[in-house]
């Protein structure tokens, strides 16, 4: 008898859960994106040429690039640390004059939400260990330097609910809306609202 009541209680609980999650409500959940997610996306999308991200197309006198990216969040921005290497130079009297001075640099960017994707804009050079590198990078780093980075947050949520991850239950994402992308407590937070059904 106790076992029957326990089974009945589980069925009622699952039915209730399905109903509550399937009905859109005014409440939303907070999706937390860790720095490791952004670092993985940077490496996969930008730092993909032998681990390098070229700041301009390499030529006879120039091949400036960044490597070994790190990511952190603070003061409402995404901070990307990297190692600068390569050459910056020019042809002078037919001779290539270039300098190589490796340096640790720090960039920052503002995270924004565009069409359910997180992107970075308003990129700034925060610091470089070598003054000469800082001066040279001012001409190479623009506000859209990291604009090719796109993190599909909606797809990430759907991947979490894939059948192989939720068996023996099936989770159906009916509709999701992402909003309020912001840096809080050294984490990237996104508000997720919508309807999810458990079967």
pLDDT tens figures, 34-90: 899 999 999 999 999 999 999 988 888 888 999 999 999 999 999 999 999 988 877
Tokens 């509709």 belong to residue: 175
* pLDDT score recorded for residue 177: 82
Q: Is the peptide bond before 168 cis (omega within 30 degrees of 0)?
A: yes
Work out the number of other CB atoms within 10 angstroms of the CB of residue 52. Answer: 20
Judged by average pLDDT, the poorest of 18-22, 69-73, 151-155 is: 18-22
- 186 or 1, which is more confident: 186
What gap in Å lies between CA 53 and CA 121, rounded to an integer? Answer: 17
pLDDT band at 112, cuts 50/70/90?
Answer: very high
| Contacts for 39 with CB less than 8 Å, ≥ 6 apart | 69, 70, 71
Q: Phi, psi (5° rounding) for residue 53?
A: -125, 105
* pLDDT score recorded for residue 162: 82
Distances (CA, A) of 128 to 65, 106, 117, 131: 14, 6, 30, 7
Sign of the CA dihedral running 136, 140, 141, 142: positive
* pLDDT score recorded for residue 7: 38
* pLDDT score recorded for residue 2: 39
What gap in Å lies between CA 171 and CA 163, rounded to an integer? Answer: 7
What gap in Å lies between CA 183 and CA 197, rounded to an integer? Answer: 29
């Amino acid at each position: 008898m106790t076992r029957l009541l326990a089974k009945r209680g589980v069925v009622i609980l699952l039915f209730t859960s399905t109903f509550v999650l399937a009905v859109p409500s005014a409440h939303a959940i907070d999706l937390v994106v860790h720095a490791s997610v952004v670092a993985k996306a940077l490496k996969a999308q930008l730092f993909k040429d032998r681990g390098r991200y070229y700041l301009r197309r390499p030529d006879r006198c120039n091949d400036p690039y960044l490597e070994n990216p790190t990511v952190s969040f603070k003061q409402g921005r995404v901070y990307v640390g990297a190692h600068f290497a390569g050459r910056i130079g020019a042809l002078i009297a037919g001779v290539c004059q270039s300098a190589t001075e490796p340096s640790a640099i720090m960039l920052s960017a503002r995270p924004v939400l565009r069409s359910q994707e997180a992107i970075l804009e308003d990129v700034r050079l925060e610091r470089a260990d070598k003054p000469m590198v800082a001066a040279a990078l001012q001409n190479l780093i623009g506000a859209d330097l990291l604009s090719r980075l796109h993190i599909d947050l909606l797809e990430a949520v759907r991947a979490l609910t894939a059948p192989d991850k939720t068996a023996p239950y099936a989770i159906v994402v009916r509709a999701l809306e992402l909003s309020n992308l912001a840096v809080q407590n050294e984490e990237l937070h996104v508000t997720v609202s919508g309807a999810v059904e458990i079967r």
